[in-house]
Amino acid sequence: MIETPALETRELTKCYGERSAVADLTMRVMRGETFGFLGPNGAGKTTVVKMLLGLVQPTSGDAAILGRPLGSLEARRRIGYLPELFRYQEWLSAREVLGWHAAVVRIARERRAVEIDAILRRVGLAERAGDRVGTFSKGMQQRLGIGVALLGSPELIFLDEPTSALDPVGRADVRALIAGLKAAGTTVFLNSHLLSEVEHVCDRVAVIDAGRALAIGDLSELLGRFALRISFESIDAALHAELARRDAEFGRDRTVLLHGLSDSDIPDVVAGLAAFGARIKAVQPIRSTLEERFLEILRNEHERTADRIARPR
């Protein structure tokens, strides 16, 4: 039996008057993966999430969530959601906030206390369970919001900027939390402008701009090939010629860069140079960061758009 994706969109489109917020978005997120959804401010990310959650009706196209049609109440009961902007009543305690939401998602009354205690421990708020939300820092409120999203053990969780208000320790805690969700088979759909965080936790990513998908794929595919920085004890004329044959970029202090390598190429390159007689001091694989690749994708798209506009018809 072929398992259905956690979510799938087919030419999903949302227009507000003549303005297109999302255009023909087609993508698939498989069950159990952590999927990063990236784009600059105004790219349409939040509109996509609202359509998937049934909060906004698409203009055209279609989507399925957990094997159910878009808007299915049954599917929505199996989803957790942390919005980017949220606020809980300041006079409620953390336990009361979770209790109210536990009732909304229909957790059985006899199970609520046990589940709420477990979630408070999980998000690091057990010692502040009885304190009013109004006394919480932004980071603590963010932890509480994540706790609300975890109620009912959802199969699919949407996290919109989950680390935006957290310090480095809090961000590390959220990374560990996401890793735990993945280990338990939960699908995580992650919006974040902190690309270093996405790079740590996501299996696949999509980059969108102006409502259109520019790139979707495995993180390793998106980041592309390696460059390899190699330091030698010395480079004689024969080794210089061999490196030049490999299109090496020569630097200072007997260091060279070899570009366009895959993971599997690196052992063969090093072994080949050693067999040639090179005395290698250090080898450092270098790959573009997600932030660098993200900016490159956006820049290339903007250049293509400008070229289409400038091209005479």
The answer as to whether 300 is a domain residue is no
**Residue 78 and residue 206 in one domain:** yes
**Residue 89 and residue 145 in one domain:** yes
Tell me the per-residue pLDDT of 225-283, one tens digit each, with 9 for 90 and over: 677 888 998 888 888 888 888 888 888 888 888 877 777 778 888 888 888 888 888 88
Query: And the tokens for 30?
Result: 């498989």
**Residue 172 and residue 149 in one domain:** yes
**Residue 265 and residue 212 in one domain:** no
**Alpha-carbon span 206 to 25, nearest angstrom:** 11
Among 221, 253, 275, which residue terminates a domain?
221
The answer as to whether 295 is a domain residue is no
Among 221, 241, 257, which residue terminates a domain?
221
What is the pTM (predicted TM-score) of this model? 0.77
Please give the C-alpha separations between residue 271 and each of 191, 229, 237, 258, in angstroms, as whole numbers: 42, 15, 20, 14
pLDDT of residue 156: 94
- The full length of the chain comes to 313
What 8-state DSSP symbol labels residue 140?
H
The answer as to whether 271 is a domain residue is yes
The answer as to whether 119 is a domain residue is yes
The answer as to whether 292 is a domain residue is no
Question: Cβ-count burial of 28 within 10 angstroms (0-12 exposed, 13-18 middle, 19+ buried)?
Answer: middle
Please answer whether residues 197 and 168 qualify as being in contact, where contact means their C-beta atoms are separated by less than 8 angstroms.
no
DSSP labels, 76-134: HTTEEEE-SS----TTSBHHHHHHHHHHHTT--HHHHHHHHHHHHHHTT-GGGTTSBGG
pLDDT of residue 2: 58
> Which phi-psi region, left, alpha or beta, contains residue 244 (left: φ > 0; alpha: ψ -120 to 50)?
alpha
**Alpha-carbon span 190 to 192, nearest angstrom:** 6
**Residue 13 and residue 93 in one domain:** yes
Query: And the tokens for 160?
Result: 């919109």
**Residue 190 and residue 276 in one domain:** no
What is the total count of domains within the chain?
2
**Residue 262 and residue 234 in one domain:** yes
Look at 7 and 247; give whichever has higher pLDDT: 7
The answer as to whether 184 is a domain residue is yes
pLDDT of residue 305: 67
**Alpha-carbon span 266 to 119, nearest angstrom:** 44
| Domain containing residue 134: CATH number | 3.40.50.300
**Alpha-carbon span 93 to 129, nearest angstrom:** 7
Please answer whether residues 197 and 165 qualify as being in contact, where contact means their C-beta atoms are separated by less than 8 angstroms.
no
Is the pLDDT at 198 greater than 70, yes or no?
yes
Q: Which single residue is written with the structure tokens 């680390």? A: 163
**Alpha-carbon span 283 to 255, nearest angstrom:** 10
**Alpha-carbon span 182 to 306, nearest angstrom:** 41
pLDDT of residue 306: 65
**Residue 89 and residue 201 in one domain:** yes
Q: Domain range holding 33?
A: 7-221
What 8-state DSSP symbol labels residue 3?
P
Tell me the per-residue pLDDT of 68-110, one tens digit each, with 9 for 90 and over: 988 888 888 899 998 887 888 899 999 999 999 998 888 888 8
**Residue 12 and residue 158 in one domain:** yes
Please answer whether residues 23 and 211 qualify as being in contact, where contact means their C-beta atoms are separated by less than 8 angstroms.
yes
80 DSSP β-pair partners: 157
Among 197, 221, 245, which residue terminates a domain?
221
Residue 100: φ, ψ to 5°: -65, -45
Radius of gyration of the chain (CA): 24
Q: For residue 8, how many C-alpha atoms fall within 13 Å in the half-sphere facing its CB? A: 11
Tell me the per-residue pLDDT of 153-163, one tens digit each, with 9 for 90 and over: 899 999 988 87
Is the pLDDT at 29 greater than 90, yes or no?
yes
Please answer whether residues 22 and 16 qualify as being in contact, where contact means their C-beta atoms are separated by less than 8 angstroms.
no
The answer as to whether 98 is a domain residue is yes
**Residue 137 and residue 252 in one domain:** no
pLDDT of residue 135: 92
**Residue 126 and residue 238 in one domain:** no
| Residue at 64: amino acid letter | A
**Alpha-carbon span 211 to 205, nearest angstrom:** 15
205 DSSP β-pair partners: 36, 217
pLDDT of residue 311: 63
**Residue 217 and residue 230 in one domain:** no
| Domain containing residue 243: CATH number | 3.30.70
The answer as to whether 248 is a domain residue is yes
Cα maximum dimension of the chain: 79
